[in-house]
């Protein structure tokens, strides 16, 4: 399954690679269909916690994003990426977010944006990462206790 206009599979657009640890926050109903097949060995977590390679957070309100951003950033592996998804203007989903507002929240938290993508017809995404100079030291990854991507196909996405 592809998303957006590029024909590139969504997991590839989001930088989800084999063996990655992924958390979805506030994902809309049916997002697992939009996301499509995940690479082998991806661990899908129900909530963000330490050493995540990719976090995708869906939100429609700036205040909600501002409240969630720092804890999600702390959960990232130093080389990880935090995607913030907000409704496109054409979607007519009520929101007080746009790309500039999302960027401002991320920059205020000390991360930098380095990629934008169309997630689907409703959602745009902006990826944030730590600057190389600001990356925290790597910590040992916790023992994997979450479901694997294969088990998550049953719909175990965080809401």
Q: What is the pLDDT of residues 64-74, one digit of tens each?
A: 999 999 999 99
Q: What is the pLDDT of residues 36-79, one digit of tens each?
A: 999 999 999 877 777 899 999 999 999 999 999 999 999 999 99
Give residues with Cβ within 8 angstroms of 52, minimum separation 6.
Answer: 21, 22, 23, 45, 75, 76, 77, 80
Give residues with Cβ within 8 angstroms of 133, minimum separation 6.
Answer: none
- Domain limits, the chain: 22-134+144-152
Of how many residues is the chain composed?
159
CATH, range 22-134+144-152: 3.40.50.150
pTM (global) more than 0.85 = no
pLDDT, mean of residues 102-110: 97
């Amino acid at each position: 399954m592809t998303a957006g206009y590029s024909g590139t599979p969504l997991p590839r657009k989001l930088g989800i690679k084999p063996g990655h640890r992924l958390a979805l926050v506030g994902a809309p109903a049916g997002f697992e269909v939009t996301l499509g097949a995940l690479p082998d060995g991806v661990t899908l977590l129900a909530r963000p916690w330490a050493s995540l390679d990719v976090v995708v957070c869906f939100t429609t309100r700036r205040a909600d994003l501002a409240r969630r951003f720092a804890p999600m950033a702390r959960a990232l592996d130093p080389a990880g990426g935090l995607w913030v998804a907000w409704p496109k203007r054409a979607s007519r989903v009520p929101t007080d977010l746009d790309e500039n507002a999302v960027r401002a929240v991320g920059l205020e938290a000390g991360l930098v944006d380095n990629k934008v993508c169309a997630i689907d017809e409703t959602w745009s995404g902006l990826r944030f990462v730590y600057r190389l100079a600001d990356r925290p030291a790597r910590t040992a990854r916790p023992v994997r206790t979450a479901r694997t991507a294969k088990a998550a196909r049953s719909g175990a996405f965080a809401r």
